[in-house]
Amino acid sequence: MRRIVSKLPEVGTTIFTTMSSLAKKCSAINLGQGFPDFDCPQEIKDRINFHLQQGRNQYAPMSGVPELKWAIADKIKRSYGLELDADREVTVTAGATQGLFTAIMALVGRGDEVIVIEPAYDSYVPSIVLAGGKPVTCELDPPDFTMNWERMASLVTSRTKLIVINTPHNPIGKIFSEKDMLALQDLVTTHDLFVLSDEVYEHLVFDDANHQSVCRFKALFERSFAVYSFGKTFHATGWKMGYVVAPEDLMKEFRKVHQFNVFSANSFVQYALADILTNPASYDYLPSFFQKKRDLLSHHLAGSGFRPISCEGTYFQLFDYTKLSDMDDLAFCKYLTTQHGVAAIPISVFYTSQRQAGVMRLCFAKKEDTLISAAARLQRVRQ
């Protein structure tokens, strides 16, 4: 019988599934996969119930419910000063992952090179490969993972079409500064490239920093897709709701793929989100809310063998564990889960060429009690 030829021969089950399953099996505290262990605000659940009961249960318009697209455009204007045409430049997606995939499918063709900064969120490279493109990696090195724009520029060839960025960055927790964004703008305008900007952690920036969205930079936005996730903003990763904004010509192509990829995203949640998003208080509290959690985890790990690496944004904190073990990071994370009851994510999996860094990622989007209990367990890890 004919056998299927894999389009993604290198890909196995994602690390998030692997570590969450192991955590469950061992009843470990799961600081691996990124999701809150607290619920989304009651007010949103009430609005969802309301719209569900109102019978908003049929297909939403293909690009999203108008009220939600207007609320998104208002939010972008308020946050980044960019005026969008809500009907033509905003599309609601079934999570950021679908937005990223659809943008890549719309833009990347056979043989196109796409530069990805590694470590990188795990969906980018497989999506580029499925589109027939060639991922080209710009690697950042531990322990400080500093961005090097000269190295990035040296990777641009006549076949480069797209650069994927992620700020705030999962897994390294760094954010791009205004200077970084200007360097990117300079590079992409000089070489006539597109940008896919994953900004799902836009509200999770700490120590009074500002999120530097592509939406703040006119010449950059003209050639960008910016991708967002309601799952992060409203502590509801299970909804799989997000949105993409882009200039009209790019969005037109995006929607050609979107309509056959998913057609439209969940209807009643869109109406509920439209009600909530118009109130900036529903997301303005997020930086201080998550900064407290970041600081709590580091405070309770002080004096342990885990050395925190500076975290400017996201809900992930990297720790160097080389004082405690010379195991490779996957083995070490499995050891922590099975022997110490705390699940973590190894960093090597976020590189195409699986390099070792002696660094692991913990998710601090958890209740205080969870973070304190996990830290107490990690304090017991000895060399």
Contact footprint for ligand GLN (CB under 6 A): 14, 16, 33-34, 170
Instruction: Tell whether residue 242 is a contact of ligand PMP (CB under 6 A).
Output: yes
Please give the residues from 321 up to 360 whose contact with ligand PMP meets the rule CB under 6 A: none
Place of tokens 């705390």: 342
Q: How far is the CB of 238 from ligand GLN (least distance, A)?
A: 11
What are the C-alpha distances in Å from 377 to residues 12, 69, 211, 304? 30, 45, 34, 11
Task: Return the one option of ligand GLN, ligand PMP, none that residue 264 interacts with (CB less than 5 to 8 A, by type).
Answer: none
Q: How far is the CB of 79 from ligand GLN (least distance, A)?
A: 22
Q: How far is the CB of 33 from ligand GLN (least distance, A)?
A: 5
Say how far apart CA 342 and CA 373 lie, in whole Å: 9
Nearer to ligand PMP, 34 or 358 (CB): 34
Strand pairing report for 316-320 and 359-363: antiparallel
Q: Is 139 exposed, middle or buried (0-12, 13-18, 19+ CB in 10 A)?
A: middle
Instruction: Tell whether residue 79 is a contact of ligand PMP (CB under 6 A).
Output: no
Does residue 184 contact residue 162 with C-beta atoms inside 8 Å? no
Q: How far is the CB of 362 from ligand GLN (least distance, A)?
A: 11
Among 40, 84, 96, 246, binds ligand PMP (CB under 6 A): 96
Instruction: Tell whether residue 102 is a contact of ligand PMP (CB under 6 A).
Output: no
Please give the residues from 189 up to 228 whose contact with ligand PMP meets the rule CB under 6 A: 198, 200
Task: Return the one option of ligand PMP, ligand GLN, none that residue 33 interacts with (CB less than 5 to 8 A, by type).
Answer: ligand GLN
- Secondary structure tally for the chain: helices H, strands E: 16, 13
Instruction: Tell whether residue 234 is a contact of ligand PMP (CB under 6 A).
Output: no
Q: How far is the CB of 229 from ligand GLN (least distance, A)?
A: 9
Nearer to ligand GLN, 170 or 185 (CB): 170
Instruction: Tell whether residue 229 is a contact of ligand PMP (CB under 6 A).
Output: yes
Nearer to ligand GLN, 14 or 379 (CB): 14
Closest CA to 345 of 332, 356, 355, 354: 332
Task: Return the one option of ligand PMP, ligand GLN, none that residue 18 interacts with (CB less than 5 to 8 A, by type).
Answer: none
Closest CA to 152 of 118, 128, 196: 118
Task: Return the one option of ligand PMP, ligand GLN, none that residue 242 interacts with (CB less than 5 to 8 A, by type).
Answer: ligand PMP
Among 30, 91, 160, 170, binds ligand PMP (CB under 6 A): 170
Q: Where are the beta strands (DSSP E) in the chain?
A: 29-30, 90-93, 113-118, 134-139, 160-166, 194-198, 224-229, 242-245, 307-309, 316-320, 342-343, 345-346, 359-363
Task: Return the one option of ligand GLN, ligand PMP, none that residue 198 interacts with (CB less than 5 to 8 A, by type).
Answer: ligand PMP
Nearer to ligand GLN, 170 or 224 (CB): 170
Three-state DSSP class for residue 208 = coil
Buried b (16+ CB within 10 A) or exposed e, 68-107: bbbbbbebbeebbebebebebbbbbbbbbbbbbbbbbbbb
Instruction: Tell whether residue 97 is a contact of ligand PMP (CB under 6 A).
Output: yes
Q: How far is the CB of 147 from ligand PMP (least distance, A)?
A: 16
**Of 46-54, 65-73, 229-237, 348-356, which part binds ligand PMP (CB under 6 A)?**
229-237
Binding flags for ligand PMP, 267-306, as an x/- string (CB under 6 A): ----------------------------------------
Task: Return the one option of ligand PMP, ligand GLN, none that residue 254 interacts with (CB less than 5 to 8 A, by type).
Answer: none
Place of tokens 């975290």: 311
Q: Is 332 exposed, middle or buried (0-12, 13-18, 19+ CB in 10 A)?
A: buried
Strand pairing report for 90-93 and 242-245: antiparallel
Say how far apart CA 292 and CA 236 lie, in whole Å: 20
Phi-psi region of 300 (alpha: psi -120 to 50; beta: other; left: phi over 0): alpha
Q: Is 227 exposed, middle or buried (0-12, 13-18, 19+ CB in 10 A)?
A: buried
Say how far apart CA 352 and CA 261 lie, in whole Å: 26
Binding residues vs ligand PMP (CB under 6 A): 34, 95-97, 121, 166, 170, 198, 200, 229, 231, 237, 240, 242
